[in-house]
């Protein structure tokens, strides 16, 4: 996890490998992830997560976590958003924003989601950036830094 470098301010986004994304785009994507979080079905963990993934042709797909009494049938917000996009024929992504109710740390994809995204370039382009929002701050990391120790 210490390989993941979070920028402390939105201004630093340009320095972290997503030059093509404006601050406005990132803020909108984060907002969409926060809206998606409101749809979370998480009666067991009581932990709401929302994700919004941006395709290279500027479509946004959102997802929330959907839990189940059989816990491992539940799906994370990230996988939900990715699966929705893939189901609609979109496989090339620029960025994904993830929101949770944690207010003291950035949410980070679980091991299962990292495995899911490790599938390769046919599913997730390795140039995708990850954005997180907490305490009024936006953090980001690259695919490579997120996956460094997986
Ligand atoms: O990055 C994450 C981490 C957790 N969860 C979900 C899974 C489960 O429903 C709940 C508690 O782990 O949060 C996500 O959707 N995304
Ligand atoms: Zn997950």
Q: What is the CATH number of the domain that holds 46?
A: 3.40.140.10
Which of the residue ranges 15-19, 57-61, 144-148 would you say has the lowest mean pLDDT?
A: 15-19
Residue of 43, 45, 97 to mutate, ligand 1, most atoms within 8 A of C-beta: 45
Point out the ligand nearest to the CA of residue 108: 1
Query: Is 75 a member of any domain?
Result: yes
d(CA 22, CA 116): 27
Over residues 111-124, the mean pLDDT reads 93
State the catalytic residues.
78
| pLDDT of amino acid 102 | 87
Residue 79 belongs to domain spanning: 10-147
* Ligand 1 mutation target, pool 1, 34, 65, most atoms within 8 A of CB: 65
Condensed to tens digits (0 to 9), the pLDDT of residues 12-57 reads 444 445 556 888 899 999 999 999 999 999 999 999 999 999 999 9
Q: Inform me whether the pLDDT recorded for 59 exceeds 90.
A: yes
How many domains does the chain divide into? Answer: 1
């Amino acid at each position: 996890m210490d390989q993941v470098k979070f920028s402390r301010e939105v201004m630093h986004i340009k320095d972290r490998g997503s030059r093509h994304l404006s601050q406005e785009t990132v803020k909108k994507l984060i907002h969409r992830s926060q809206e998606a979080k409101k749809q979370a079905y998480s009666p067991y963990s009581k932990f709401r997560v929302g994700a919004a993934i941006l395709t290279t042709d500027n479509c946004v797909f959102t997802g929330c976590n959907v839990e189940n009494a059989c816990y491992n049938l539940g799906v994370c917000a990230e996988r939900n958003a990715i699966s929705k996009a893939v189901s609609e024929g979109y496989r090339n992504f620029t960025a994904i924003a993830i929101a949770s109710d944690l207010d003291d740390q950035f949410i980070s994809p679980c091991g299962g989601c990292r495995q899911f995204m490790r599938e390769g370039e046919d599913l997730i382009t390795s140039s995708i950036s990850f954005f997180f929002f907490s305490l009024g701050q936006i953090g980001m990391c690259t695919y490579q830094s997120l996956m460094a120790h997986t």
